[in-house]
Chain A
Amino acid sequence: MDNQLIKTQELTKIYHGRKVVDNISLCVPEGKIYGFLGPNGAGKSTTMKMLLGLIDPSGGKISIFGKEMNRKNRISILKQTGSLIESPSYYGNLTGYENLKISCILKKLPFSEISRVLSVVRMEGNKNKKASQYSLGMKQRLGLANALLGKPSLLLLDEPTNGLDPAGIHEMRSLIRSLPEEYGTTIMISSHLLSEMEQVSDYIGIISSGKIIFQDKLLKLQELGSESIIINTDDNLKASSVIKENMNINPEMSNNGIILPFMDNTTVSQTVKCLVNNNINIYRVTDKTKNLEEIYLSMVKENGL
């Protein structure tokens, strides 16, 4: 992996004798979007809260920006960090602008930052409206604006699209996607929605029952999904026996065509050549891949979680 901004070692959290987070070692690379995936109750929010120092780990270490985090240096580390944890936080009696002013005062930032972040989240037109009158989408955007104050190097977003309508989700997604490119921000984003993570993340960490069951590039995860090759010809029966005789592969017949086990590119090309040499017309060669949901479920099954 690239240079790692967040690193945890055997991070554990025990609640009432139950391991909610179980010895996880996260590696979040710099300048990338790290999707933290898992079903509800898997331990995502607990992990995020531990990363922010909101709760103390029962065991393990957390390093952010190369510094081991503890009670004393927590606030100084978090000065370079923006966060949005679970539901958006706001003061309903204050306007959007005033809400951000509170963060500026506490973080010792100039008020000019407010206009900048409001324009990033496209909320300039609603800055003088009371936060209690905002829609959920606007509250989430206000939360994101808050997290962006001071151009943080690291953003921790816990389910930022929760409760948003499809348009809001799309807007939030494109906003998040643009941040590493424009500002070099590293983003760790948690969600239980696999499709969403697939669309925004460069790296994926999958957590289930408090344990990390996968952690690598999204491409690696997608590679795991390639499980078979389907070939459609003008004579599938003949093609099947040709493959069996010449390639030493046992094909399966289905309504969609001949199903072959997953092969590398060279073997696929040899198979196609063999069929052509036997005067079989090939209509289509397709890669059957599992979607992320299927991969995730098979991983969970494999890990017995």
Chain B
Amino acid sequence: MQTKTNALSQGLIRCHDCGYLVKTETKMSSCPRCDGHLHARNPHSLQRTTALLLSSFLLYIPANIFPIMMVNQFGAGEPHTITGGIVDLIDSGMIPIAMLVLVASILVPASKLIGISLLLLCAHFRWQVNARRWTTMYRMIAFVGRWSMLDIFMISILVDLVNFSGVQIIAGPAATAFAAVVILTMFAAENFDPRLLWDNQQNSYE
């Protein structure tokens, strides 16, 4: 069923929303089947992804140095950063949960930032790479992104439940920065067009 050719090089544009193929020569701007906006590749994919990625890089700093929550016990507040929360979990012997939080709130955001940067460099400098492997990397980045919201949801649960006169958990300023990092990198992954990786390969049909 393989035709060994790109749809675009045959003058066909795939609708991003419903998958319908439209001939380029009709110069239609919206899909005849679903009325979605037609574009051969995501519009300004590299520029938009770069902008979103740079913002995430900047926000990643406050997200990690400011406290994400504070435990107020009888007036004495104790701030926790993301890393601090994980250290606490390890200290109290909950290694599996600590690993889970480590993966979701540190490893995943960090590898997303690095991964999307590499994808951008690859697409921009037209590196000759194993495009299949790079597309798989893109797919993983797009898939794991939402799981970083774990920390944010957890804070909303803790803040709500632990709200007594003696003990209180208060959300810290890093929560906003961290949520923004997660959402901006999700948008960055969505705006990146993996087809650009394939467009740049000279022999991609073996």
Task: Verify that A and B bind, or say they do not.
Answer: no
Q: Which residues of B contact A (CB under 8 A)?
A: none
Q: Which residues of A come within 8 Å of B, CB atoms? A: none
